[in-house]
Structure 1
Amino acid sequence: MKLTRIMASAAFAICAATASQAQENLVISSWLPPAHPINVDMLEGLVDMMEEATDGQVTGEIKMGIAPPPAQMDLVMDGAADVTIIFHGYQPGRFIATKLIELPGYEGNAEAASVAYWRVHEAHLAELDEHRGVKLIGLSTHGPGQIHSNKAVNTLADLNGLKTRLGGGVSADVGAELGLVGIQVPAPKVYETLDSGAADGVAMNMGERISFKLNEVAKNVYEMPGGFYRGSFAVLMSQQKFDSLPADVQQALEEEVFGEPFSRLMGAAWDASDVRARAATEEAEDNVIVTASEADQAAFAEMAAKVREKILGEIADAGIDAQAAYEMVKAEMAKESN
């Protein structure tokens, strides 16, 4: 009888130890095409980082098409997915401080901007708690946004009246200054929108020329050095799911994955996609990249200053020291770029 009790206790201990180390497979929702860098490099990269940090106790599986882009944050809040990525511009009025990183005029690549974004969020923007109800695990921005069109665009003036898909956020403010006729559709609808003639152009970073096959339906790129705008993204996790993880697993994720490390990975992935797409565009005989003239660059700088003043005013009205936050973005990007 005593031996039986000892064996039973040992079996219970083994089972308990095994349960404590059981693998948690997170459902990661994505609304992008399967081969998009967000899926292949960023979200898959997140899975790799989590597995490594937790010795395999946390992993994840990307599932697509669970909900449309604007519903992703609510999807996680409702428990229908454990992790997702959102584009802030798809929900006008819900996010204000996130527009800070979208302003035109920053110098530096997406990696530098994404790292700066996280640091500034921690120092200034977090107090607005705009992602309340979920756990924020990464922030990022793509590289400089340019104008891709199915019509030739050689000057800033050629943009006036161009029917252009704008993603929302600061791109809409910039579009208004440029005289663009804004059309809003989610990114996965861009190809058919351009192919059908419902739009003449789209505002996107260079990398999306591959992701959304713009080399087929928008063969002209009008490039403003430094970009017309950037775009703000966040990766979110269910707070309830995070809280359910063992304390040591939570600590490992917080220290080794979430925040700046993952934000840096996302930025680097955006940069790599831009490099690949530029090379593909330059190699395509029927694709053209036109760089804005010095005169047009100067004219756009004045427009950008107006947009910057407007957005910083909105952020200040929300209770943030907008100017200090803006200066910190520039300073942190400069550090990362050296």
Structure 2
Amino acid sequence: MPRTGLLQLSMLAAILVPVAASAETTIVVSSWAPPTHTINANVWPAWAGMVEKATGGRVRVKIEYGLAPPPAQFDIILDGAADATWMFHGYNPGRFVATQLVELPGNTAGAEAVSAAYWQVHERYLSAADEHRGVKLIGLTAHGPGHLHTREPVAALDEVEGLKIRVGGGVSSDIAERLGIIGVNVPAPQVYETVASGVADGVLMPMETKQSFRLAEVAPYTLELPGGFYNGSFAFIMNQDTFDSLSPEDQEALMSVSGIELSKLAGRAWEKADEEGVEFAIGEGNTFTLADEAVIAEFRDRTEDIRQTVIERIDGLGIDAEAALADLQALSAHPD
């Protein structure tokens, strides 16, 4: 081949190599908790590795912080300001109703089992409400049982009446109302200063927050209920256009490590984080009080109508809520 031909081929190769390298897709994840929080430190990195492996390196994941406050996460994904996020349903009152099914207290299964069951029940029942319309749902999870963490000791429910307690919304707000609590609605990243400043007397949150949101420092007393006062519902979502821009092969690969797999991954992380949160709080000298039978019975009496209220809300969406709840409980108790 003439030298000029070789030169032309070399130039063409030099042009094509950068094009091929830029063909990979980077999914920008918007996150809102501290980088040390288990979702950011463990779940997103693990999922990123799974996605990269499943797609042969064609799809990668990058986490960005501070793109929007927690209540705005759904909308920034809907608008395309970021490609993916995790969101707490309770921050959007009235927007998510079917998801309240998993928030009901009393499920004593672990977060991994509950999260896996949640995904399956959503696929079978709750998806009919189409509450995540406009975005691609890639996972669902419920954190561990939410307990009462306070500035001062609390051992009985009559002691919480009139207290200002941070709640996240959804069923936890219903619970607070039945217990005579004055609900303080602030996103999780603001709980430390809210309690430290005395704006709130305590919080309803899972054990992992003792460490992740530094509650061990400002709310050293915890009242525990079997199954918790409530459970928190979260979704992992993607911008629909971003998902659609992937090749069919990469869409299938991404979903093969999402759905129930991502849900279980998050559930395992919550469980481990709760254990670490308790260990950390004990090391900080925190006090844990397990509710006695009288407190448990009183809690059930004062909140028993919430179950029916949630059932009726979901029935109103055209979903058989009783069947969905029965499946959620059965699948949680006997995971695959």
User: Could you say which TM-score interval applies, normalised by the shorter chain?
Assistant: over 0.9
Deviation at 1:157, TM superposition (A): 1.5
The separation in 2 between residues aligned to 1:10 and 1:136, in whole angstroms, is: 44
Name the counterpart of 1:301. Answer: 300
**Aligned equivalent of 1:204:** 205
2:172 match: secondary structure: helix
Deviation at 1:305, TM superposition (A): 2.3
Unaligned runs of 5+ in 1: none
Aligned residue identity for 2:148: I
Residue 74 of structure 1: how far off its partner (Å): 1.0
Distance, in Å, in 2 between the alignment partners of 1:30 and 1:280 is: 24
2:153 aligned partner: 152
Deviation at 1:16, TM superposition (A): 8.7
Given that 1:141 and 1:267 are in contact with CA atoms closer than 8 Å, whether structure 2 keeps it comes out as yes
Contact residue 102 and residue 232 of structure 2 kept, 8 A = yes
Match in the other structure for 2:271: 271
Q: Report the 3-state secondary structure (helix = DSSP H, G, I; strand = E; otherwise coil) of the residue aligned with 1:221.
A: strand
Compare 59-68 and 294-303 and name the one that shifted more: 294-303
Aligned residue number for residue 176 of structure 2: 175
Please say if residues 83 and 236 of structure 1, whose CA atoms lie closer than 8 Å, have aligned partners that are also in contact.
Answer: yes
Aligned residues between the structures: 335
Q: One-letter code of the match for 1:198?
A: V
Q: Spell out, residue by residue over 1:178-236, the C-alpha distance to the aligned partner (whole angstroms, 9 max, x if none).
A: 11110001111100000100000100000011011111100100111110100000011
Provide the rounded CA distance (Å) in 1 between the counterparts of 2:162 and 2:59.
50
| Partner SS for 2:82 | coil
Q: Where does structure 2 lack aligned partners over 5 or more consecutive residues?
A: none
Instruction: Output one character per residue of 1:10-32: Cα deviation in whole Å (capped at 9) or x when no partner.
Output: 957x9499638832111100111
- Conserved 8 A contact 1:166-1:203: yes
1:95 partnered with 2:96? yes
Change (3 A) 1:16 1:244: farther
TM-score, normalization: structure 2?
0.94
- Say whether 1:107 aligns with 2:105: no
Letter paired with 1:296: V
Q: In structure 2, what is the equivalent of residue 163 of structure 1?
A: 164
Give the residue type in structure 2 aligned to 1:331.
Answer: A
Q: Which residue of 2 aligns with 1:313?
A: 312
Q: Does 1:240 align with 2:250?
A: no
- CA drift at 1:44: 1.8
Deviation at 1:302, TM superposition (A): 2.3
Residue 111 of structure 1 contacts residue 267 of structure 1 at CA under 8 Å; is this kept in 2?
Answer: yes
Structure 1 residues 155-182: Cα deviation after superposition (integer angstroms, max 9, x where no partner): 1221111110000011001111111110
Task: Report the Cα distance in structure 1 between the residues aligned to 2:81 and 2:291, rounded to whole angstroms.
Answer: 45
Contact kept? 1:104, 1:304, Cα under 8 Å: no
Alpha-carbon contact 2:108-2:226 (below 8 Å) kept: no
TM-score, with structure 1 as normaliser: 0.94
Aligned residues of 1:109 and 1:271 also touching (Cα < 8 A): yes
Shift in alpha-carbon separation, 1:10–1:327, aligned structure 2, 3 A: farther
